[in-house]
Chain A
């Protein structure tokens, strides 16, 4: 069968109904004709509604695409939430006239428009009309974290999208021999997925998979006999390819795309080896659309090179990359990104990190400022600083100073319990992979003498085994061989391991260690520590507890007596035995 021709976005609905496969859904193919019929059914339903602005979310990409095109054909404005979490949708309620898609009413409280029946409408005799492509008309709004932390709506006109799709097709449209099936691990609710797994296939007449591929293992069953397959993915999946993928997973795979974050060189080459085709990485953002691309090779590490129609320069003050292209709202203006870059004379570049507090976690953009603001709303937290750690995965870590209430939760539920509680508070605002995975609860944030929070100091708090090992000294009084210390047991003590089903307690061995430590420091006793006796542990010690440690050094008997007491009475007591060196 001859490959379908390419139709620019604006003329997409003028393509005569055809029998080529447009959409694959759970093993069944939907023809272009039938998909177009679905657009028409939605169109007829929507003409009965005067609402202009619709929020659209649907997990079936075929249905999503039909609704989207029906809305656009009527000149409606479409808001795309990145997910269907209640908080996300709540924020949209004041901005849109209606919701359309597969929202779970019980969870979100949102009642979407009921879908049209599947039988009634017929395709009108004349082909559908071109879309009204006006650069001033906002066809699409997507949301992302702005530098201030507030979600920013990014508007796209159809000509903007059309121009970008034309450029993508120019670069990659002929890369596959025959009509491909497009499979994706990424959501079409974000711009990358929208362009690559929905709009480009629609324009090019390719078949797209209606269901997201959640595990790469599923590739083996998303087959089709007509031609090659293309995988639209991201570093989240491509850096975690199972070691023994069945051969069927990679058969007929002729192109792989990755976006959202740079793919590591190792992961890129691993994908090349396992799938037998290289990964085209696309660099861009919701604001700018696609900017550049690269494909890592075994023998070279190429720089990013601009996509067709994209001009680049480097802002001399900030070192940030500036973009001018038809993919932007105003194609004459330079747009300054927050990414620092080193540009060569041919317009190729290397990225050198961001200049703002936007973190990229598994391809998802997160404003650290926004998450800090949300944490400060929790009554448990007085001050907080978030940072990005690169461990096994890129993750968020939190350094938080607790309020009295926070300390009480810590005391009752332990560190793991408090971590869990705080993550729960954030969950209504942020997607799960963005939530902090590591927490430190110091008495205060580690400002340096210049009043600054040094990133390195914060990072060091997350090095292995770095919780404090000693208690805080509140008061110290020494009288010869008698020492009295008022101590506070810090909540983030290294020795309070998480047991969130029981309250954390201070291990006895740590109490002995402290007694030795302070005795050594205060008395510099003659002889080595040789053991303990008369040990008694009468009461448990919990985080944030104040303790009095009394130490008495009996030089004649080579013993040091210690007791731990608090307002609750005695906690522990015993004797440290010393042994003098012979001679």
Chain B
């Protein structure tokens, strides 16, 4: 697991106040929402806020794009990496 992956998993746990879940329990290519980790629409809003606060990432106005970025930890890693490279 690379450092960013680890960091994002920890961010998910802390931001969403998840219980009984550790970084090791979040599988990077497993869906974050509904299935898999079972996150909901409120979690999506919270996560969007956290990404903006931590990395300065503004979500796309296109909700389909946002959904793709939020699919799993790997897609979040890609989003953050792309954003950092663009700076």
Contact = CB atoms under 8 A, between A and B. Distances in A.
Interface residues of B, number: 29
A410 to B, nearest CB: 11
B22 interface: yes
A244 B58 contact: yes
Q: Which of B20, B59, B63, B66 has the most CB of A within 10 A?
A: B20
A240 interface: yes
A243 B57 CA distance: 11
B17 to A, nearest CB: 5
B60 interface: yes
A244 B48 CA distance: 12
Given A214-B63, A498-B20, A499-B22, A432 B40 contact: yes
A54 interface: no
B84 interface: no
A240 B45 contact: yes
Contacts of A431: 40
A242 B59 contact: yes
A390 to B, nearest CB: 12
B63 to A, nearest CB: 5
A217 B61 contact: yes
Contacts of B34: 432
Contacts of B66: 214-215, 217
A415 B20 contact: yes
Nearest to A362: B42
Interface in B7-34: 16-22, 24-25, 27, 34
A393 B63 contact: no
Name the prevailing secondary structure of the B interface residues: loop
Contacts, number: 89
A500 B18 CA distance: 14
B58 A497 contact: no
A391 to B, nearest CB: 6
Nearest to A498: B20
A526 interface: no
Nearest to B37: A420
Given A215-B63, A432-B40, A237 B17 contact: no
Interface in A392-416: 392-393, 415-416
A217 B58 CA distance: 8
A325 interface: no
Given A242-B49, A499-B22, A433 B58 contact: no
Given A217-B59, A221-B61, A244-B52, A497 B42 contact: no
Contacts of B61: 217-218, 220-221
A258 interface: no
A419 B19 CA distance: 10
A309 interface: no
A215 B22 contact: no
Q: Which of B18, B19, B44, B59 has the most CB of A within 10 A?
A: B19
B38 A423 contact: yes
A437 interface: yes
A36 B18 CA distance: 48
Interface in A529-547: none
B52 A242 contact: yes
A497 B18 CA distance: 12
B87 interface: no
B20 A416 contact: yes
Q: Which of B18, B49, B61, B66 has the most CB of A within 10 A?
A: B61
B48 to A, nearest CB: 6
Given A237-B45, A246-B58, A432-B41, A497 B52 contact: no
30 contacts: A214-B41, A215-B48, A215-B66, A218-B63, A221-B61, A236-B45, A240-B45, A242-B58, A243-B53, A244-B52, A392-B16, A392-B17, A393-B42, A393-B46, A415-B20, A419-B20, A420-B38, A432-B34, A433-B40, A437-B17, A438-B19, A439-B19, A497-B20, A498-B20, A498-B22, A499-B24, A499-B25, A500-B25, A501-B24, A501-B25
Interface of B: 16-22, 24-25, 27, 34, 38, 40-42, 44-46, 48-49, 52-53, 58-63, 66
6 pairs of A and B residues whose beta carbons are closest in the complex: A498-B20, A432-B40, A416-B20, A221-B61, A433-B40, A217-B59
